[in-house]
Amino acid sequence: MLIEHLNRQLREREAQALKRQRRVAESPCAPHQRVSRDGQPAREMLAFCSNDYLGLAHHPALIQALADGAQRFGAGSGASHLINGHSRAHAALEDDLAHWLAPCIPEAQALYFCTGYMANLALLTALGDAHATIFADKLNHASLIDGALLAKAPLQRYPHRNLATLESQLTRCTTPIKLIVTDAVFSMDGDLADLPALLALAERFDAWLIVDDAHGFGVLGAQGRGSLSHFELKSERLIYMGTLGKAAGVGGAFVAAHPTIIDWLVQAARPYIYTTAAPPAVAHALRESLRLMAGAEGDRRRAHLQQLIGQLRTQLTALLAAHPALGWRLVDSSTAIQPIIVGDNAVTLALAAALDAQGLWVPAIRPPTVPAGTARLRITLSAAHSSDDVQRLVDGLARAAGDLTGALA
Ligand SMILES: *Cc1c(COP(=O)(O)O)cnc(C)c1O
């Protein structure tokens, strides 16, 4: 019965062009990557899909730091942080991260997590008790939504970036604790939350602002210090979650906040307490990653990434203007996430397949990851791309757009 039930649902997904498939990367994460699928021989693809925005995932200094960390601290942590898994490497990384956020959150302390998904579940379940209400942007990342659903606190969602609705929800709220939760850079659209306006609302209504900076940490602001720094915000009301597997190129995540909040997470956050600490070598490598990101090499990589973003947007704008019949549109995004909204699931898949045939790997993102009717190609750029790589993508898209327009005519 179970297997029949699941097979029926799998067939339904297939019919709606919603079935997802994995590929196997045969080489490190990089723009030019060998990839295999369905038992076919590996092909070299030009990929525009990773969140490795600075191209650090295969940086020799990080690979070396990971090896050094394993020599010093061993392969595994052996237990959770509250038993004997909390190593000097984790503690030192947390000090570095607290220092990183100190200009934006006075007295901040930091807590390292195995993944951003777990950090968000931890934050929302530990802070969102029966005394609190959670206010969330409708386009927040799945991990924030899941955390809010698991929390005891009631959840109020407001339409994407609609602060007027949020304000009226806050006005009506009667719980003593109010938590506003937002992606800083929305993961499937690339647009920014209006963090200064959100913080102003938090101050007016005595609320707290939880910022998920998965796509801003390492990329935005001076030295890549993230979205809070980009907007030059400073407040004790800010609770910051940054992930370390994207621009930082390694893995894990952290929360930086008022010391009492960190203390409470250590006492009460089940996704923190009941899991084995990440290998200490990962934390050790992350310290090297922070040094790279904050230094001259980070600056060079961010400047190059910014150039590529400008080039891609200019070229895509011209391309879409040349093919109005397709009805594709861009998002008002200034970040490395540059989606092309196509709309229909099957057309989006066909477009991704047409690019695939040209050796270009751009993921088709479909519901439920994005709202129905907004299936898209999610193009992401990395500082490891070259200007020629971007040109190849645009040429490939132009060919696919020409073919699809011909098919429509
Ligand atoms: C990737 C992502 C996460 C999850 O982080 P992981 O470390 O990959 O688990 C959380 N929030 C946002 C907005 C993300 O894009």
Query: Of the given ranges (105-119, 140-154, 395-409), which has the lowest mean pLDDT?
Result: 395-409
Q: Which residues contact 41 (CB under 8 A, 6 or more apart)?
A: none
| pLDDT at res. 20 | 84
Q: Which residues line ligand 1 (CB under 6 A)?
A: 115-117, 120, 141, 143, 183, 187, 212, 214-215, 243, 245, 253
Residue 406 has pLDDT above 80, yes or no: no
Distance CA 326, CA 397 (A): 12
Asked if 365 contacts 20 with a C-beta cutoff of 8 angstroms, the reply is no
What 3-state class would DSSP assign to 257?
strand
In this prediction, residue 131 has a pLDDT band, given cuts at 50, 70 and 90, of very high
Q: First vs last Cα of the chain: how many Å apart?
A: 47
Best CA proximity match to 379, nearest among 296, 283, 315, 288? 315
Please report the pLDDT score of residue 409 as a whole number: 65
The closest residue, in CA terms, to atom 8 on ligand 1 is: 116
pLDDT the model gives residue 407? 74
pLDDT tens sequence across 321-374: 999 999 999 999 999 999 999 999 999 999 999 999 999 999 999 998 999 999
pLDDT higher than threshold 70 for residue 251:
yes
Residue 95, H or E segment: helix 88-101
- In the Cβ-directed half-sphere of 126, how many Cα atoms lie within 13 Å? 23
Provide the pLDDT confidence category of residue 408 given band limits of 50, 70 and 90.
low
CA dihedral for 115, 256, 64, 30, sign (positive or negative): positive
Ligand 1 center to 38 CA (angstroms): 27
Instruction: Look at strands 177-183 and 132-137 and give their pairing.
Output: parallel
- Comparing 33-42, 163-172, 324-333, 336-345, the range with the smallest average pLDDT is 33-42
How remote is the CA of residue 338 from the centroid of ligand 1, in Å? 17
Q: What distance in angstroms lies between residue 248's CA and the mean position of ligand 1's atoms?
A: 13
By C-alpha distance, which of 3, 87, 54, 126 is closest to 297?
54
pTM of the model: 0.96
| From 117, 215, 370, mutation site for ligand 1 pocket: most ligand atoms within 8 A of C-beta | 117
Other C-beta atoms closer than 10 Å to the C-beta of 373 total 10
- Asked whether the predicted pLDDT for residue 173 surpasses 80, the reply is yes
Amino acid occupying residue 158: Y
- Cα atoms found within 13 Å of the Cα of residue 86, Cβ hemisphere only: 12
| 341-346 contacts at long range (C-beta below 8 A, 24 or more positions apart) | 341/374, 341/375, 341/376, 342/375, 342/376, 342/377, 343/373, 343/374, 343/375, 344/373, 344/375, 345/16, 345/17, 345/18, 345/375, 346/17
Ligand 1 atom closest to Cα of 253?
Answer: 7
Residue 21 has a pLDDT of: 85
Residue 127: pLDDT over 80 = yes
All domains of the chain in start order, with CATH: 25-54+298-408 (3.90.1150.10), 60-294 (3.40.640.10)
DSSP string, 363-381: PEE-TTSS-TT-EEEEEE-
- Residues of the chain with pLDDT > 70, as a percent, come to 100
Q: Is 133 exposed, middle or buried (0-12, 13-18, 19+ CB in 10 A)?
A: buried
Instruction: Please state, in angstroms and rounded to a whole number, the distance separating the CA atoms of residues 149 and 159.
Output: 17
Summary mean pLDDT of the chain: 96
Measured in Å, residue 234 CA sits from the centre of ligand 1 at 23
Lookup: tokens for 184: 């800083």
| pLDDT value at residue 289 | 98
Helix (H) or strand (E) holding 353: helix 345-357
pLDDT at position 17 is 80
Cβ neighbours of residue 283 under 8 Å, at least 6 residues apart?
69, 87, 89, 90, 92, 93, 112, 252
Amino acid present at 172: R
pLDDT tens string 290-333:
999 999 999 999 999 999 999 999 999 999 999 999 999 999 99
pLDDT in tens, 214-248: 999 999 999 999 999 999 999 999 999 999 999 99
Cis bond upstream, residue 368 (ω within 30): yes
The mean pLDDT value for 192-203 works out to 98
Whole-number Å distance, alpha carbon 187 to ligand 1 midpoint, is 8
Residue whose CA lies nearest to ligand 1 atom number 10: 116
Is the model's pLDDT at 122 over the cut of 80? Answer: yes
Do residues 184 and 213 touch, judged by C-beta distance below 8 A? yes
For 287-292, what is the mean pLDDT? 98
CA of 117 to the centre of ligand 1 (A): 6
Question: What would the mean pLDDT of 10-39 be, rounded to a whole number?
Answer: 91
**Ligand 1 centroid distance, CA of 252 (Å):** 9
Q: In a 3-state reduction of DSSP, which class is residue 401? A: helix
Q: Which two tokens stand for residue 294?
A: 């904050």
- Ligand 1 atom closest to the Cα of residue 143 is 10
